Structure 1
Amino acid sequence: MARKERTTGQNHTPRFLPMSPDEVHRKGWGELDIIIVTGDAYVDHPGFGTSIIGRVLEDAGYRVGVIAQPGWENIADFTKLGKPRLCFAVSAGNTDSMVSNYTPSKRLRHDDAYSPGNKAGLRPNRACIVYTNRLKEAYPDVPVIIGGIEASLRRFAQYDYWSEKVRQSILADAPADLLVYGMGELQMLAIADKLKNGTPASQISDVDGTVWKMDIKSWKEKKEELLSEYMEIPPYVEVSKDKAIYAKAFKTVFEEQDPFCGHGIVQVHPKTVVVQNKPMRPLSQEELDRVYELPFTREAHPSYPEKIPALDMVKFSITTHRGCFGSCSFCAIVMHQGRMIRSRSIGSILREAESFRDIRGFNGTVNGLGGPSANMYGMDCKKWESSGACKNKFCLYPQVCLSMNTSHSKLIELMQRLRELPGISKVFVGYGVRYDLALLDEQYMEELCAHHVSGQLKVAPEHYSDRVTAVMKKPDRKTFERFEQKYKEINRKLGKDQYLVAFLISGHPGCTLEDMIATAEYIRDTGRYTRQVQDFTPTPMTAATCMFHTGLDPFTGKKVYVATSQKEKSIQRAMLHYREPGNHTLVYEGLKRAGRLDLVGNTWNCLIPRSSEKGPKSGW
């Protein structure tokens, strides 16, 4: 990622990437090299993928513009910046557009944190496909590169919760020329360089971390040659009809998500063949530092009259690392960022924190410090660089692997040095702590409680049934209880009145109605009632979504119970909030179905009052 010489980003005058012809003209440009089209509002902050890719390309000398949340009924918004010299780069935004637009119960959302004024409806369903079609309508000869979460996690045939079917690879559905998966800085630089040097997009097939396509005829002619370098997984026709085959294909993709030892993968579709090159290597520490020290304004583009809620949540937060070796079943980070941790230098993070002092609205508080998991900074495994991540076991489940370097020493040093910076009064780590790792280092827990918790620490046990957490690949209940006890002990010793806020998931594969009732009883007995409950949403390319669709654990092949009906999912969700009068009918229905009407009554151990039995008697 070696680029033109420059000083650190903080010494450059921050500027927004242009969003209008007037802004392009003011920069003295006659045309743009690359135009990024995104489903999010344009926020120039390193927590937003559009901004990172735009700034990296700008840093490399490319003229980059942004079309944010274009109207998709016609091509007008897609042509307002003119025809780019090299390509369009398309992203649905920081989340999959179907997740942005719909609740877990498939109802339209009434808000969107990535839009001005929290307004919903500013991006289409399946945004990457819609945007690409409009761009090809406007400029048929201009290459379109799709990337971001939506494209990355739909790169192979995937179960789609909203249509309740297996959809083709997004590259088979969208008329895009290339797909970038994972964190895309190196890929986009390589593609831009090749296009600049005259290589047609149709001939770019050698960039790691990308997916390209070929026609069926060429596949038949080159199959033998390709399969000397690539692995073939079952075709779309088979995975869309046979759930066991789907699960095996998912397992292969998961195991090859390794930049050092992974293989490329081919999947045949009815009208095209998608070819995934092996994952792109992670950025080095120097490269990661450079990315996060680019001249981000940390503001929404000034054309917006209303606030972007997502910015308020992260404006003065700092990303310390990428990757997560937790491999939770419901999370797609492994398939996007990978299991290997890449950490920034302490110096780079300190410089970013120092830069906050010059930004309007900063009150001395860094309100977030971490990555996908807050306390994996500086951790690694000695096997990663030589043999990649293990294919036959998980790093943290069922126990923390002894090969992992789980020392918090670098993180402790970072936290201490941040606290010493002039102008920085507080550095909070309010969420994302992996508590099974935290338990291994009492010094870290003491530092955390003494200096970095603002009254509440959010942690995610996700469930209190060991049978369910085993399917989730999460720590068991005793581990959470040990963490909670240690957290209380340390805060008591410090004389602090600080609490844990637990996040739970209902309706996850492996969770039966009996598990939910047992969890409700546990909450009743321990006083762990929480508002933070989320119904499981099957999002693309997670192990849990594979289980939801197939009823099989892809890693073991064993059957997994799945609550697939909306009614049962609603009952499971209501069980965790059994105190709410509006949920009593659903809770009663679940208790009746499970033969647990002993929990209906007016004694201390009942979940709902006797009057609830007047509710509907139908099953589901």
Structure 2
Amino acid sequence: MKRNDFLPICREDMKKRGWEQLDFIIVTGDAYVDHPSFGTAIISRVLEDAGYKVGIIPQPNWRNVNDFKKLGRPRLGFLINAGNLDSMVNHYSVSKKRRKEDLYAPGGKMGLRPDRATIVYTNMVRQAYKKVPIIIGGIEASLRRFAHYDYWNDLVRRSILFDSEADLLVYGMGEKQVIEIADNLNNGLAIKYIRHIPGTCYKVNNLEEVYDYIEVPSFEEVSKDKRLYAKAFKIQYEEQDSIRGKVIVQKHKDIYIVQNPPASPLTQVELDRVYDLPYMRSYHPIYEKMGGVPAIKEVKYSIVSERGCFGSCSFCALTFHQGRVIQSRSQESMIEEAKKIVKDKDFKGYIHDVGGPTANFRHPACEKQKKIGACKNKQCLYPKPCKSLYIDHSEYLEVLRKLRKIEGVKKVFVRSGLRYDYIMADQKGDDFLKELSEYHVSGQLKVAPEHVSPKVLALMGKPKREIYERFVDKFYKINNRLGKKQFLIPYLMSSHPGSDLSAAVELAEYLRDIHYHPQQVQDFYPTPGTLSTCMFYTGLDPRNMKRVYVPKTREEKAMQRALLQYRNPKNYDLVEKALILANRKDLIGYGPKCLIKPREEYNKKNRSNKNKRQKDKRRKNRR
């Protein structure tokens, strides 16, 4: 059997490799896609590269234990994840309505994984094999490692280690942790004694053997007292650094959750090795007759250039998951991946993206960060760029130039997020924005101002409106000089903590003034592990314990969203009500600054449209 093949998903696959028993079995909520944009693919290939026999059970039927037994009992343990997305986010919109499509399932079919997949899968494995070691990881487990607010149940849930009954939890990007766990198990160490590995969490009955730790308020305390919840979250948030981070413990009744400090970031050599492994770069052939796996489409011809983000937006879970320290691949590694992409029979010449969480972050924020870790109470970019921040786009430009010169490559696009404030802080000139516009934008560049209200931007950790406006002006001037008609598409968010109706109206007025009418608007989604979610639940900013206004009712959220799409006739009633409640009746009328016409005009137009529809219907029936 050639090494370059999919890993076993059935007994027949194991026989072809001459394997009687697997060392590890990965159970995942996603379909099996062997591409480095998928966590299961990376962990399985890293273990394979270390010499372990790995099999995968993708999207098992969780209603009985049969699927969980189909590869037999693993020699060392089960590794369980919910998939690339949190299973609840995958299943439900922010309005808690069931989504119609699962992009990580064959044919986009919904319903092939359970809610809270990590918990369900782990409990089924425990039924199938009573004493087998179980390690959970991935984004769902990582963000639920402590007692956390759960938006879907609207309550504080205990650590997922309890509800899942797993032995060990891997948080963050797990390559280092999983190899060390595997080696310890392979050397005969029982899972209950594997308590020393950075980037992992475990349970203990007492703290006799835990040293140099910070204890945060217990599950019982944070469930009853929102101030204590905010206090606990602040400590958890501040200690997510591999150099200076402390051990954190949290009591749940008589048992403690212990979080070891984060794993150290991968070096460039280590990260290159991860992405140079022999991925098949596609979904497993069993899904072909089902229409494939939609999630591969956007990433199949994309290149991951880095991990981590020092942008630290309050509503983003990256700080709590990947961390603030940038880990970047070498140019040589990315060029070699591009050459593999070019050889794909379906490649049309277009590399869809070269980026990561933030495409234009290619190196650690500063030299201090490398030695003493990320600052505990200071951000790199907010409220303004730190004096120590290293700002340079030249290396990223260099790799983009090399990629677009590869034979067979027609165009290299950048579709990952870009921090425009970082671009504006670059004192070395406009070369990056010029080349980005000339070679790497596909007609539209997506950026994320998110809001314009100062009080909302401050809570989001986003730059001031003036910086975005200067960026917009510079972008269009450069594109005009290039003779290109390209546009900026701003991402906007409604109902973020701090956004009252007056702030939502302010954003609507801004959209009016720039003549932009968004087709889609993202309501703030309170997912575990973010600073904004802590604000949403507690009504407090955990950084200073000041009160924060939180729009929570369904009606107010609908009004804020409608204000951003005030031109849509379907939103008239909501917009009118919002403007009245915000004491902004001046925006109802016929003037150039008005958002909507008076009610009489709206009713008149509605009657006219209704009559026209009825006439059209009668005319159609006569035919």
Shorter-normalised TM range: over 0.9
Q: C-alpha distance in 2, partners of 1:181/1:403?
A: 29
- Partner SS for 2:310: coil
Q: 2:251 aligns with which of 268, 271, 294?
A: 268
Q: 2:238 aligns with which of 238, 255, 260?
A: 255
Q: C-alpha distance in 2, partners of 1:461/1:35?
A: 42
The 8 Å contact of residues 588 and 612 in structure 1, kept in 2 or not, is answered as: no
Query: What is the TM-score normalised by the length of structure 1?
Result: 0.94
The 8 Å contact of residues 172 and 272 in structure 1, kept in 2 or not, is answered as: no
Matches within 5 A, 1:404-443: 404-441=389-426, 442-443=430-431
**Is 1:54 matched up with 2:39?**
no
Q: 2:503 aligns with which of 507, 515, 519?
A: 515
> For the structure 1 residues 612 and 195, does the alpha-carbon distance in structure 2 shift closer, same or farther, using more than 3 Å as the test?
farther
Q: C-alpha distance in 2, partners of 1:366/1:379?
A: 25
**Is 1:290 matched up with 2:273?**
yes
The 8 Å contact of residues 260 and 281 in structure 1, kept in 2 or not, is answered as: yes
The 8 Å contact of residues 327 and 334 in structure 1, kept in 2 or not, is answered as: yes
The 8 Å contact of residues 324 and 341 in structure 1, kept in 2 or not, is answered as: yes
Once the two structures are overlaid, the 10-residue window that deviates more, 306-315 or 203-212, is 306-315
The 8 Å contact of residues 585 and 612 in structure 1, kept in 2 or not, is answered as: no
**Is 1:87 matched up with 2:81?**
no
Q: Which runs of 4+ in 1 moved over 6 A?
A: 612-615
Q: CA deviation at 1:385?
A: 2.2
Aligned partner of 1:577 in structure 2 is 565
1:237-275, CA deviations, whole angstroms, 9 ceiling, x for partnerless residues? 111111111111111111110001111100000252110
Q: C-alpha distance in 1, partners of 2:590/2:601?
A: 12
Aligned partner of 1:355 in structure 2 is 340
Q: CA deviation at 1:358?
A: 1.6
> For the structure 1 residues 612 and 250, does the alpha-carbon distance in structure 2 shift closer, same or farther, using more than 3 Å as the test?
farther
Q: CA deviation at 1:597?
A: 2.6
Q: 1:132 aligns with which of 122, 143, 165?
A: 122
The 8 Å contact of residues 379 and 407 in structure 1, kept in 2 or not, is answered as: no
* Stretches of structure 2 lacking an aligned partner (at least 5 in a row): 604-623
Q: C-alpha distance in 1, partners of 2:456/2:601?
A: 29
1:265-308, CA deviations, whole angstroms, 9 ceiling, x for partnerless residues? 00000252110001000111000000011111111111112221
Matches within 5 A, 1:587-606: 587-606=575-594
Q: 1:32 aligns with which of 22, 33, 36?
A: 22
Aligned partner of 2:608 in structure 1 is none
**Is 1:194 matched up with 2:178?**
no
Superposition RMSD in Å: 1.4
Aligned partner of 1:393 in structure 2 is 378
**Is 1:543 matched up with 2:531?**
yes
Q: C-alpha distance in 2, partners of 1:22/1:109?
A: 35
**Is 1:64 matched up with 2:54?**
yes
Q: C-alpha distance in 2, partners of 1:73/1:585?
A: 45
Give, as a single letter, the amino acid of the residue that structure 2 aligns with 1:313.
E
Q: C-alpha distance in 2, partners of 1:70/1:602?
A: 59
Q: C-alpha distance in 2, partners of 1:44/1:360?
A: 17
Give, as a single letter, the amino acid of the residue that structure 2 aligns with 1:520.
A
Q: CA deviation at 1:122?
A: 1.4
- Partner SS for 2:541: coil
> For the structure 1 residues 13 and 492, does the alpha-carbon distance in structure 2 shift closer, same or farther, using more than 3 Å as the test?
farther
Q: CA deviation at 1:123?
A: 1.2
**Is 1:504 matched up with 2:487?**
no
Query: What is the TM-score normalised by the length of structure 2?
Result: 0.94
% of aligned pairs identical?
53
1:81-129, CA deviations, whole angstroms, 9 ceiling, x for partnerless residues? 1111111000011111111111100111111111111111211111111
Q: C-alpha distance in 2, partners of 1:534/1:161?
A: 16
Give, as a single letter, the amino acid of the residue that structure 1 aligns with 2:115.
N
Aligned partner of 1:8 in structure 2 is none
Q: C-alpha distance in 2, partners of 1:433/1:517?
A: 27
Q: CA deviation at 1:593?
A: 1.7
1:341-399, CA deviations, whole angstroms, 9 ceiling, x for partnerless residues? 11111111111101112212111111011110010013431111221110121000000
Q: CA deviation at 1:613?
A: 9.6
Give, as a single letter, the amino acid of the residue that structure 2 aligns with 1:525.
D
1:130-169, CA deviations, whole angstroms, 9 ceiling, x for partnerless residues? 1000000000111110000000000000000010011101
- Partner SS for 1:288: helix
Give, as a single letter, the amino acid of the residue that structure 1 aligns with 2:76.
L
**Is 1:609 matched up with 2:594?**
no
The 8 Å contact of residues 19 and 81 in structure 1, kept in 2 or not, is answered as: yes
**Is 1:236 matched up with 2:219?**
yes
Give, as a single letter, the amino acid of the residue that structure 2 aligns with 1:45.
H
Matches within 5 A, 1:300-379: 300-304=283-287, 305=289, 306-379=291-364
Q: C-alpha distance in 2, partners of 1:566/1:125?
A: 23
Aligned partner of 2:551 in structure 1 is 563
Q: C-alpha distance in 1, partners of 2:75/2:266?
A: 27
1:183-237, CA deviations, whole angstroms, 9 ceiling, x for partnerless residues? 000000000111111111111101110001012xx34xx1xx52x4211111111
Aligned partner of 2:450 in structure 1 is 462
1:416-465, CA deviations, whole angstroms, 9 ceiling, x for partnerless residues? 11111111111101241110111234111111111111111111111121
Aligned partner of 2:618 in structure 1 is none
- Partner SS for 1:360: coil
The 8 Å contact of residues 32 and 65 in structure 1, kept in 2 or not, is answered as: yes
- Partner SS for 1:404: coil
The 8 Å contact of residues 159 and 549 in structure 1, kept in 2 or not, is answered as: yes
Matches within 5 A, 1:486-497: 486-497=474-485
Q: C-alpha distance in 1, partners of 2:184/2:177?
A: 11
Give, as a single letter, the amino acid of the residue that structure 2 aligns with 1:254.
Y
> For the structure 1 residues 612 and 432, does the alpha-carbon distance in structure 2 shift closer, same or farther, using more than 3 Å as the test?
farther
1:494-532, CA deviations, whole angstroms, 9 ceiling, x for partnerless residues? 111111111101010011111001111111112122223
Q: C-alpha distance in 2, partners of 1:612/1:189?
A: 69
The 8 Å contact of residues 449 and 468 in structure 2, kept in 1 or not, is answered as: yes
Q: C-alpha distance in 2, partners of 1:360/1:214?
A: 53
- Partner SS for 1:447: helix
Aligned partner of 1:141 in structure 2 is 131
The 8 Å contact of residues 356 and 416 in structure 2, kept in 1 or not, is answered as: no
- Partner SS for 2:540: coil
- Partner SS for 2:452: coil
Give, as a single letter, the amino acid of the residue that structure 2 aligns with 1:477.
R
Matches within 5 A, 1:220-235: 222=208, 226=210, 228-235=211-218
Once the two structures are overlaid, the 10-residue window that deviates more, 388-397 or 604-613, is 604-613
Q: C-alpha distance in 2, partners of 1:466/1:527?
A: 21
Q: C-alpha distance in 1, partners of 2:305/2:165?
A: 36
The 8 Å contact of residues 237 and 320 in structure 2, kept in 1 or not, is answered as: yes
Q: C-alpha distance in 2, partners of 1:435/1:214?
A: 45
Q: 1:181 aligns with which of 171, 179, 183?
A: 171
Give, as a single letter, the amino acid of the residue that structure 1 aligns with 2:32.
Y
Q: C-alpha distance in 2, partners of 1:175/1:613?
A: 61
Q: CA deviation at 1:565?
A: 1.4
The 8 Å contact of residues 323 and 338 in structure 1, kept in 2 or not, is answered as: yes
Give, as a single letter, the amino acid of the residue that structure 1 aligns with 2:155.
K
Give, as a single letter, the amino acid of the residue that structure 2 aligns with 1:460.
A
Aligned partner of 1:3 in structure 2 is none
The 8 Å contact of residues 319 and 371 in structure 1, kept in 2 or not, is answered as: yes
Give, as a single letter, the amino acid of the residue that structure 1 aligns with 2:226.
K
Q: 1:246 aligns with which of 192, 216, 229?
A: 229
**Is 1:96 matched up with 2:81?**
no
Q: C-alpha distance in 1, partners of 2:136/2:414?
A: 33
> For the structure 1 residues 313 and 123, does the alpha-carbon distance in structure 2 shift closer, same or farther, using more than 3 Å as the test?
same
